[in-house]
Structure formats: C-alpha cells, structure tokens
Amino acid sequence: MAGAELHQDPAAFSLLDPEVQECPYPFYASVRQQCPVYRLPENGFYLVSRYDDLKRVLRDTSTFSNAVGLARDAAVGDLMPSITRMYKERGWQPQPTLQRTDPPAHTRYRRPIARTFTARRVQSMRNAIAASVDALIEDFPDSGVTDFVSSFAVPLPCGVIADQFGVPREDVPKLKLWSDALMDSFSMMMTPERELEVAELLLEFQQYFARAFEERIRAPADDMLSDLVRIEAGEQPMSMNELLDMMSQLLTGGNDTTTGALAEGALLLATYPEVQRRLRTEPELVDNFVEEVLRLESPVQGLMRVTTRDVELGGTMIPSGSVVIARYGSANRDESHFPNPDFFDADRAEAKEHLAFGMGPHFCPGAMLARAEMQIAFRNLLAQLGSIELAAPQPTLAHHRSLLHRRLKALPIRYQTL
Ligand code: HEM
C-alpha cells in the first residue's frame, strides 16, 4: 500500500461510497493511524478499527450491547409502519434473538445452537462436504471457463446448510433467494422498492419455516430444525417469532459468509500463481491459507453494537446510546498485531488469531463448519484442477454494495482439468 494513502485524512473517504466499499483498506489504514475510533460523518456511527480495541468491544457486552434494533429500523425510515403491518397481518413480527441480544437472554438462544454445532457433527459431515465439492467440480463446463461464484461458491454452502436444516436440496434456490433478501435487509443500502420486495420474500421465508418447525414438533428428525424445537430439562420453549429470527441468522450465516470467503480464496489463488504452486506441493498449508483468506477479506467486515454508557475507547469519548461498528475487516489488518498486514503470508504464525468469526459470547457458532467447507474445497480444487486463472480483467470484478458485508458478485475463472 502506498505511503501517501496511509497519511490521507479519513474524512477524504466515505464508507457509503461504492468505491470505498469496493476497496476499504486504504480508508481503514488511515483511520487506524489517525483516529482509531472514528465517528463517521455521514451517520454518526463510531467505527472501531484496531485489533485490541475491537477485542474489548466484543468482550464487554454490558457496555457494547447487541440490542441495536433501533438503528436498523431507522435505516428503513418511513416504510417501517407498512412493513410492520405486513408482518402483523401475514407473518410473524421479528423478535430479536441471538446476535441481536445480550447475555443472559442471549445464553438461552445459544443453548440449542451449541446442541446442533458439535465437533462430532461437523466431523461426520466431512465426507458429505467432500462429495458435494467433487460433484460441483465435475460439473464445471468443458470450455474451461466458469463463474466460480455461481457454479461453486454459492451452491456448496447452500447445499450443506440445506442438509443441516433437513430441508430438501430442490428447495436450495428458494433458500438462496431468501438469504439474499435477508442480506440486503442488513446492508442498509436498499432502495424503498427493494425494501418492500424484501419484506414480501421474508414473509414467504417465514411461512416456509413455520411449516417446517410445526412438522418437526410433531415428528422430530435428526436435523438442525429438530434440535431447535427440542426442549431439554429446565428450558423454556421458544415462540415461533423467536424460532424464525434464529433461522434468519442461521440461513445467512450458513451460506452467504462462506460463499464470500470461498470466492475471495479463489480470487487470491487466481491472482497469485506462486501461491497455487506452493499449496499444490505443500497441501498441509491449505489450513493456514484459509485463515489468511478470512483475515485479509473478512466476509463480515463489520457489525453493530450500541453503547449503554459513556465510554472512552482508543482516545475517543463515545456517548451512551451511540452506534458502534465493530470493524473486523480493519482489525484483521492492524499492523500492531499482524506484521506486514496487507500481504498474504502462507506461513504466517498468527494467521488464526484473526477476528473474522468474532470473539466472546457471540463467537460464530458455524466457524468449525465454515472452516471444514473451505479446507475441503481448496484442497480438492487444487488437486483436481490444473492452473486456475482469472478469465476477466481484475478491475471488472465487483462486490455487492454493503456497509457490513463483503461478497464478490461474480468471479470468472479459467482452469485446466487434470
Ligand atoms: C466464513 C464463514 C463465516 C464467517 C466469516 C462468519 C462470521 C461471523 C461473525 C463475525 C459473527 C459475529 C460474531 C460477533 O458478534 O462477535 C458470526 C455470528 C454468527 N454466525 Fe457466523 N460466520 C461464518 C459462517 C457461519 C456458518 C456456516 C453459520 C451457520 C451454519 C454461521 C452462523 C452464525 C450465527 C447463528 C451467528 C450469531 C451467533 C451469536 O450471536 O451468538 N456462521 N459469524
């Protein structure tokens, strides 16, 4: 990164600018250097850019609360009353659970999640994941060119999470449509037309999963939906509003983030042939490669918290009631923790210390599953394909617009089948 960029004033950038979202790293570097807890002039949110400050935010849930519903509702603006009416009349009013709650309420939602994401279950899924990976590679066109996002990075995690939920594979296209709608609803970048379209899609999502939960209550199966409705000693059953809000997080968590990470990893391989060569000769480095991908191109760039009291952080006084953006994407490139942070380093000793899965009580429960999918995917892609190259000029690649997430829209690659 050029030194001149590092010294630019953060005010020279806007995080709402599509160009800054496309490559936010010079902006993050200038914030880390000049004002590590930076108040975004556009919306007054406080961006936490440094590694140690972020850890403090993620651990101290009593000061940095996850109950940020109001900030998101404010982004919907004038449409909020009609959207609320739609849910009231035809669906279930979303009730904050998990990521939108703090301990002790959060602990109650985490219990069924811990039941379902056990190491044993993820281990038992490895063969099925490998079979899905191989089938997708097998289907790559003979022309030697494909869009990696639509032919691999989307269908792999969508299929895996459908199996986990216990819903049929033929419903995967619907899951993807609903997941995209949910991701848009978190983006804070929607037009009013899309807001209404998204609300309609989310009603469909609610009706589908409400039926699926009712079936599992009548006849439990060995799947995640059954784990969520099962009640163990001392537990209170969850309402349908709670179950559906949990599902919205599991659906988006379960596929979009992994899609983003898979595509960024493939882009890294296609851009740096020397990395491919090294991983082909030393496949044991693939696990560290996966960690470096998550560190460098964190699919969740930021999430929100709200302060419950006045608090000083990184030299800035944040008033009570302020929205804070925990910026994983910046902390993971903090030079005080990761030497030479903008460079991929296959041997980086501290690669796994990234915060791409968060930390503390909200640490991503799907991390083990996401890592398994990425490790198997890259190991098998490298074993089954010869050179992987970009099939489009780098500047034509683009990410979806979002204040919080990072996902490539498409990634045309050229490959040789071995
Ligand atoms: C590369 C893939 C993934 C990334 C980068 C990722 C990242 C994250 C992050 C940053 C958080 C918030 C942590 C915090 O607040 O500090 C989170 C929470 C969460 N993730 Fe993931 N995730 C991934 C995959 C998954 C998968 C595969 C699932 C489910 C199948 C999942 C489900 C969830 C859920 C339910 C939460 C909320 C947990 C809570 O608030 O207690 N994620 N994830």
- When the pLDDT of each residue in the chain is averaged and rounded to a whole number, the result is 93
Find out whether the beta carbon of 64 lies less than 6 Å from any atom of ligand 1.
no
Q: What pLDDT score does 78 carry?
A: 66
Find out whether the beta carbon of 224 lies less than 6 Å from any atom of ligand 1.
no
Domains of the chain: 46-417 (1.10.630.10)
Nearest CA to ligand 1 atom 20: 364
pLDDT in tens, 264-322: 999 999 999 999 999 999 999 999 999 999 999 999 999 999 999 999 999 999 999 99
Find out whether the beta carbon of 261 lies less than 6 Å from any atom of ligand 1.
yes
pLDDT in tens, 114-125: 988 889 989 999
5 pLDDT higher than 90: no
Nearest CA to ligand 1 atom 35: 250
C-alpha 357 to ligand 1 mean position (Å)? 6
C-alpha 358 to ligand 1 mean position (Å)? 8
Q: What pLDDT score does 48 carry?
A: 98
Assess contact for 206 and 83: CB atoms under 8 A: no
| CA 98 from centre of chain | 15
C-alpha 285 to ligand 1 mean position (Å)? 24
**Phi (first) and psi of residue 92, to 5 degrees:** -125, 130
The whole-number average pLDDT for the span 88-117 is 91
Nearest CA to ligand 1 atom 16: 358
C-alpha 81 to ligand 1 mean position (Å)? 30
The whole-number average pLDDT for the span 340-347 is 96
Residue 394 CA: distances (Å) to CA of 47, 63, 411:
29, 42, 9
72 pLDDT higher than 60: no
Q: Determine if the pTM surpasses 0.85.
A: yes
DSSP for 263-311, written as a single string = HHHHHHHHH-HHHHHHHHH-GGGHHHHHHHHHHHT-SB--EEEEESS-E
* Helix intervals (H) in 313-366: 328-331
**Higher pLDDT pick, 402 / 345:** 345
Nearest CA to ligand 1 atom 32: 253
Assess contact for 75 and 186: CB atoms under 8 A: no
Assess contact for 136 and 155: CB atoms under 8 A: yes
6 pLDDT higher than 80: no
Find out whether the beta carbon of 366 lies less than 6 Å from any atom of ligand 1.
yes
Least confident among 150-159, 355-364, 399-408:
399-408
- pLDDT band at 1, cuts 50/70/90? very low
Is the peptide bond prior to 18 cis by the omega test (within 30 degrees of 0)?
A: no
- Among residues of the chain, what percentage have pLDDT more than 90? 82
**Higher pLDDT pick, 190 / 13:** 13
Assess contact for 323 and 306: CB atoms under 8 A: yes
135 pLDDT higher than 80: yes
C-alpha 301 to ligand 1 mean position (Å)? 12
80 pLDDT higher than 90: no
pLDDT in tens, 27-68: 999 999 999 999 999 999 999 999 999 999 999 999 999 998
Find out whether the beta carbon of 365 lies less than 6 Å from any atom of ligand 1.
yes
Q: Which amino acid makes up residue 162?
A: A
Closest atom of ligand 1 relative to the 161 alpha carbon: 30
Nearest CA to ligand 1 atom 19: 364
Find out whether the beta carbon of 303 lies less than 6 Å from any atom of ligand 1.
yes
Quote the CA–CA distance of 382 and 387 in Å, as a whole number.
Answer: 8
The whole-number average pLDDT for the span 402-411 is 94
Quote the CA–CA distance of 342 and 340 in Å, as a whole number.
Answer: 6
Find out whether the beta carbon of 299 lies less than 6 Å from any atom of ligand 1.
yes
Find out whether the beta carbon of 253 lies less than 6 Å from any atom of ligand 1.
yes
* Helix intervals (H) in 320-387: 328-331, 367-384
Find out whether the beta carbon of 331 lies less than 6 Å from any atom of ligand 1.
no
The whole-number average pLDDT for the span 328-337 is 98
**Higher pLDDT pick, 205 / 184:** 205
Closest atom of ligand 1 relative to the 261 alpha carbon: 1
